[in-house]
Amino acid sequence: HDMSITGVEWNPFHPRVFISSSSDWTVKIWEESLTSPVLTFDFEMAVGDVRWAPSSSTMFAAATADGTVHVYDLDVNRRKQISSFKVSPVRSGDSRRQDRGRGEGRKNERCSRNCFRPV
């Protein structure tokens, strides 16, 4: 990375693989014995955090500075996200995600860090 690293996490299924996010607008996947990343994902702004999915070796989520969480599954597509959603700040260290659903009302969820628990 060319700027500060904002998140690092080992893959829970592959102990030699880890992922990192940075203020340099990138997320990188690394294999511990290599000096260059295996994959690099470019975003249009700083990436504040990144986390592997706890139940999948190929899924991860990255949160960008505009409050968007980008979800990737490397088994589906190695270059394009499979989903994204926006969170808006409520106060320092806390944010809310708005889910507009299917017209059945609105629901807000608190998001204080990038926890990845897909259903």
Per-domain residue ranges of the chain = 5-87
DSSP states of 18-83 as a string? EEEEETTSEEEEEETT-SS-SEEEE-SS-EEEEEE-TT-SSEEEEEETTSEEEEEETTT-SSS-SE
The residue with tokens 């989903």 is 83
CA neighbor of 9 nearest in space, from 37, 50, 45, 38: 50
Q: What class does CATH assign to 5-87? A: mainly beta
Q: What is the pTM of this model?
A: 0.74
| pLDDT range class, residue 111, cuts 50, 70, 90 | very low
pLDDT tens digits for range 10-48: 999 999 999 999 999 999 999 999 999 999 999 999 999
pLDDT tens digits for range 52-109: 999 999 999 999 999 999 999 999 999 999 999 998 765 555 444 444 433 334 344 4
Q: Are 70 and 62 in contact (CB under 8 A)?
A: yes
The residue with tokens 């926890």 is 115
pLDDT of the residue at 6: 96
